[in-house]
Amino acid sequence: MYGLNTEKPRIMFIDLNSAFATTEQQAHPHLRGRPMGVTNRISKHCCVIAASYEAKALGIKVGMRLDEAKSICPDFIILETDPPKYHHVYQKICAIMQDYSPNVKMKSIDEGVIDFHGMDDLLKDRSLQDIGYEIKQRVRDEIGCWMRINVGIAPNRFLAKQAASWHKPDGLDTIDHRNLIDYYKSIELTDLTGIAKHFEARLNATGIFTPMQFLEASADHLKRFVFHSVIGEDWHNRLRGHEVDGNPTNKGQVGRQFVLDLRTNSDADILPRFHYLCETTGKKLRYNNFDARGVLVWATFQTGDYWYKRKMFKSSFYTDRDIYSRALYLFNQRPKHLYVTSMGITCYQLTPSARSQYSLFDEVNRQEWLTTAVDEVNERYGTFMIHSLDTLEGKRRVKQKIPFGGTEYFELLLKRA
Amino acid sequence: MDPITPLNERVEVVALFRKNLDVSQICLPHKMRYKNQEITFSELGMRHPTSKGKRMIHVFDMSDGVNDYRLEFDAEGLTWTLTAILDGKSL
């Protein structure tokens, strides 16, 4: 009736429960069973970026400030993040997943997808549920007894993720055409991955208030009146279990941002941090083997205002010096009387690097050789062994965060840890 | 606020190297001498590798049932360093 995908479920979604907090509890036996969380830099106003299940049960949520969390639970324990530890767990989970299929895609450092299409002969009549339970046990045996994962099985990635968050923690659920309708009847619109308050309001405005109404809406309605683009058609298919999220995406930009540790409009305080952001952006750019042509810089101010400036340049660039000079030219145009609260730089219009070609101009070659030499020294002795003098203060202040989205910078991050 | 006390002290460690075990268990610190006290470990929390430049460091999160300890083994310099203690009694 709804045009549901009746294919046998062959997508498995693995989600590590409260990843960073559970990993810390695994490493520190005294923290097990206690309300605890992790943050990037401990301070009174720091933000909880991962909370243990014991903390979540008390009402402590991810994103909550430490003083709020402490007011809920005075015994709440907070630790600073330890990226190499999380990377180790990430690698272990990757290795376990890759034992079952060559088609594994990590969506972030704590969740990944195993695609079992074309694997029927190798599975030898084993059910995906059976494999799911085996993976759960292997995670306990090979990483640690405290580690728990959620497993979701479905015909497409969207429903598999929904299944993985159905019964937390330590759940294993399957969603297919047989129980999909019952599942939609049991949840709210905002329980759907990708539907937050903003999209909920859009759906509500066209008379859609429940997942069932969302399912019953036509593709044309979703396209023309809700999402105003092809995204509406994607949602129409996604909700029915058809795959729309499996295509690889191209990298379009790289950048860094930073929430300032002090409120100031002084160049003496801001620019070392800004220069440091430019250098780390340059490292990301070269790590991906890209050149860029465009630079965007932005800042938010204590007044609540947002400012940005962008520019496309005639020639491509990738050295730290080129990035900083271009970004600084733009950043100096900000309203300098306002106190900066956060700032960022993004390089865009990326093209595969043409660094292997020598320039006709010796000055250009010398810049390239210098950049390569500095990168090689940093590669050997630790990233930022050599850096610009005026980024010294920035290096001390700007802490590397956990890459929440993709995992492509994890190796780069670890070299700095 | 942070229950972990950072340290950077070289310590004497007795480690066991075993065969036929999973890689996470193949090398384990058994006990260490710290402040003239002999501390015998009863549980491995986690072992993970990391690096300082090109130097390979193996990090062992150990517990003696009273406190949790973070020990780092420098595979190039062959040294053991106690880098943190989590005081179990303070929790």
Within a 10 A sphere around the Cβ of A229, how many other Cβ atoms?
A: 11
CA separation for the pair A366, A356 (Å, rounded): 13
CA separation for the pair A205, A219 (Å, rounded): 16
Class of domain A187-239: mainly alpha
Which DSSP category does B65 fall into? S
Q: Per the domain annotation, does B44 fall within a domain? A: yes
Query: Cis peptide before A169, with omega less than 30 degrees from 0?
Result: yes
Within a 10 A sphere around the Cβ of A80, how many other Cβ atoms?
A: 15
> For the structural domain made of A1-176, what CATH number should be given?
3.30.70.270
Are A26 and B45 a contacting pair at CB < 8 A? Answer: yes
Within a 10 A sphere around the Cβ of A191, how many other Cβ atoms?
A: 14
Q: Which chain B residues are closer than 8 Å to A414 by Cβ?
A: 50-51
CA separation for the pair A93, A17 (Å, rounded): 13
Q: Residue A264, SS3?
A: strand
Chain A touched by B4 (CB under 8 Å): yes
Q: Per the domain annotation, does B6 fall within a domain? A: no
What string of pLDDT tens digits covers the 417 residues of chain A?
Answer: 788 899 999 999 999 888 899 999 999 999 999 999 998 878 777 889 999 999 999 999 888 998 899 999 999 999 988 888 998 898 899 999 999 999 998 888 888 999 999 988 888 889 999 999 999 999 999 999 999 999 999 999 999 999 999 988 889 999 999 999 999 999 999 999 999 999 999 999 999 999 999 999 999 999 999 889 999 999 999 999 999 887 777 778 889 888 887 788 889 889 988 998 998 899 888 888 899 999 999 999 999 899 999 999 998 899 888 999 999 999 999 999 999 999 999 999 998 887 777 778 888 788 888 888 888 887 777 667 787 777 777 666 666 555 555 555 555 555 544
Chain A touched by B63 (CB under 8 Å): yes
For residue A128, give the amino acid letter.
Answer: L
Task: Show the CA angle centred on residue A152, arms to residues A248 and A24, nearest 5°.
Answer: 90
Q: Which chain A residues are closer than 8 Å to B61 by Cβ?
A: 27-28
Up-side HSE of residue B44: CA atoms within 13 Å toward CB?
A: 19
> For residue A387, what are its two tokens?
């850096």
**Element containing residue B40 per DSSP (H, E):** strand B37-40
Best probe of the B interface among A16, A30, A141, A376, by most B CBs < 10 A, is A30
Are B43 and A23 a contacting pair at CB < 8 A? Answer: no
pLDDT for the residue B70: 96
In terms of CATH architecture, what is A253-416?
Answer: 2-Layer Sandwich (3.30)
pLDDT for the residue A417: 40
pLDDT for the residue A233: 92
The domain locations on chain A are 1-176, 187-239, 253-416
pLDDT for the residue A245: 86
Size of interface A-B (CB pairs under 8 A): 69
Contact B79/B15 with Cβ under 8 angstroms?
A: no
CA separation for the pair A15, A131 (Å, rounded): 15
CA separation for the pair A28, A32 (Å, rounded): 7
CA separation for the pair B1, A48 (Å, rounded): 14
For residue A154, give the amino acid letter.
Answer: A
pLDDT for the residue A408: 59
This prediction's pTM: 0.78
Query: ipTM of this predicted complex?
Result: 0.91
Q: What is the pLDDT of residues B20-44, one digit of tens each?
A: 777 777 889 999 999 999 999 999 9
Are B67 and A385 a contacting pair at CB < 8 A? Answer: no
Q: Which runs of consecutive H residues, i.e. helices, occur in A73-179?
A: 83-98, 120-123, 128-142, 157-164
Mean pLDDT of B8-30: 88
Are A142 and B24 a contacting pair at CB < 8 A? Answer: yes
CA separation for the pair B91, B86 (Å, rounded): 9
> For residue A144, what are its two tokens?
């640690």
Tally the domains of chain B.
1
Q: Which residues pair with A173 in a beta bridge?
A: A152
Are A141 and B68 a contacting pair at CB < 8 A? Answer: no
